Amino acid sequence: MNNNRIFSEELVNEVADELLIADLQRATIGEVLLLSSELERRTGIPFIRMDQGSPGLPSCVIGREAEKVALDRDVASQYPAAAGVPELKKEASRFVKAFIDIDIPAECCIPTVGSVAASYGSFIAVTQADPKKNKVLFIDPGFPIQRSQLKIIGADYLQFDIYSYRGEALRAKIESFFERGDVAAIIYSNPNNPAWICLEESELKIIGELADKYGVIVLEDLAYFCMDFRQYLGKPFAPPYVPTVGRYCKNYIIMLSSSKIFSYAGQRMAVACISPNLWNTCFDGLATRYGGKGHFGSTFTASIMYMITSGVTHSTQYGYAAMLKAATDGELDFVTETEEYARRAARMKKIFTDNGFTIVYDRDVTREVGDGFFFTIGYPGIKSGELLKELLYYGVSSISLSTTGSEEEGVRACTSRMREELYPILEERMRNFKKDHPIV
């Protein structure tokens, strides 16, 4: 038993203690990243890095070149306006129309420092708008950082694991939370981080209808935009369009990040696209706290986001605008470029399932879950945190599903850092894992 480990339990525990990681089984993404990096540094043995969801493709050259041009115009000498440069706002609005087929005016598209800042600002605005509604409902599994943001602002949250509530079953589950009367917003990612499940149009319609019925704001995180590779979503102004709750409700914020679709993570760039109805709604809670009429759009932009970022880096806005324009004009096929993640996922999944692992979140409502940036794996008889720890001994880093709000046992695997020379290494290590963990 355990004769084929790459790293001893003693060494892993020693490094964890030095890094002040209190509980390996509940380690955060950052802690796992530090631990695996240090083990790799000390031993020279390569890790299979499935922890951090960092892009594994080159950044988009169109964005880089546009930033250089902007810098040569000396935009660096001026503070960027909180509302964003006109070029970016215009192109964000066009991009949404081209690929989602909904109308969000340029005025309502606000640049943010990545989707992390977009969700942070959104949480502040939505939980302060109505004093009676101060909670956020998470459709889990979800992004752990967003829960941490709510802790910082002192807001509470509710959650449920969607695993057993797909399709029409989702309606009663969500309504059981909304009818409490204290839910300000509901948030999810689609495709999902970490499970890569995709909410289907029928489910988004349920969410939208209930949101309007109970006056709840929907926060839709589309960080992995057009990355449901089971169908090609990359042709602008032509179906099939990206599924969105924006077709089914009045009050929503769509978060569009440049990090994954353009591999532009280092520049921390996103836009928060606010529905026109929500943008123009005035809330007493915002008026009381910030003064004025409590206009949502103005408050979000000038009184909240500006306090968080002081405006988004000037040149990066021009870079993002250029990439959005190229995609909308049909000159940049970002979908085909990012499809590399699906190919990696298919190869990695096969290695794991050939060696006794199962795919935890394996289905959407009407079909099997697709291949993409993330997937989830479990192993018979081993709980989430224990599996994370056991895989570390075999030189494979991941994050526990228990840290994402999931009630299922397993870990999240990210495909972004996989390289060609690592596939045979992963295969050998997982064969050894299976030998050391015989399935009864």
Residue-wise DSSP of 216-268: -EEEEE-TTTT--TTS---STTSSSPPP-GGGT-SSEEEEEESTTTSS-GGG-
Which burial class, exposed, middle or buried, applies to 269 when counting CB atoms under 10 A from its CB (0-12, 13-18, 19+)?
buried
User: What is the C-alpha separation between 211 and 171, in angstroms, rounded?
Assistant: 11
pLDDT of 2 strictly over 80: no
Question: Would you say 210 and 175 are in contact if contact means Cβ atoms under 8 Å apart?
Answer: yes
In whole angstroms, how far apart are CA 304 and each of 128, 289, 290? 11, 11, 9
Among positive and negative, which fits the CA dihedral 102, 105, 111, 116? negative
Per-residue pLDDT tens for 155-188?
999 999 999 999 999 999 999 999 999 999 999 9
Which domains are seen in the chain, by residue range?
9-57+337-436 (3.90.1150.100), 61-328 (3.40.640.10)
Give the residue carrying structure tokens 């930033």: 67
> What H or E segment, with its residue span, contains residue 399?
strand 399-400
Residues with Cβ within 8 Å of 17's Cβ and at least 6 positions away in sequence, in order, are none
Q: What pLDDT shows up at residue 3?
A: 83
Q: Mean pLDDT for the chain?
A: 96
pLDDT > 90: percent of the chain: 95
Question: Would you say 189 and 143 are in contact if contact means Cβ atoms under 8 Å apart?
Answer: yes
Considering only CA atoms, which of 45, 50, 49, 52 is closest in space to residue 7? 45
pLDDT of 54 strictly over 90: no
User: What is the C-alpha separation between 259 and 115, in angstroms, rounded?
Assistant: 9
Considering only CA atoms, which of 108, 112, 181, 178 is closest in space to residue 149? 112
Considering only CA atoms, which of 343, 316, 321, 345 is closest in space to residue 332? 321
User: What is the C-alpha separation between 156 and 13, in angstroms, rounded?
Assistant: 34
User: What is the C-alpha separation between 391 and 5, in angstroms, rounded?
Assistant: 9
Convert 170-224 into a string of H (helix), E (strand) and C (coil): HHHHHHHHHCCCCEEEEEEECCCCCCCCCCCHHHHHHHHHHHHHHCCEEEEECCC
pLDDT of 413 strictly over 90: yes
Query: Which pTM value belongs to this model?
Result: 0.95
> What H or E segment, with its residue span, contains residue 272?
strand 270-274
- The pLDDT confidence band at residue 28, using thresholds 50, 70 and 90, is confident
Question: Would you say 203 and 365 are in contact if contact means Cβ atoms under 8 Å apart?
Answer: yes
Per-residue pLDDT tens for 56-112?
999 999 999 999 999 999 999 999 999 999 999 999 999 999 999 999 999 999 999
Q: Which token pair is 387?
A: 């599996």
Per-residue pLDDT tens for 241-285?
999 999 999 999 999 999 999 999 999 999 999 999 999 999 999
Per-residue pLDDT tens for 228-240?
999 999 999 999 9
User: What is the C-alpha separation between 431 and 342, in angstroms, rounded?
Assistant: 23
Question: Would you say 111 and 313 are in contact if contact means Cβ atoms under 8 Å apart?
Answer: no
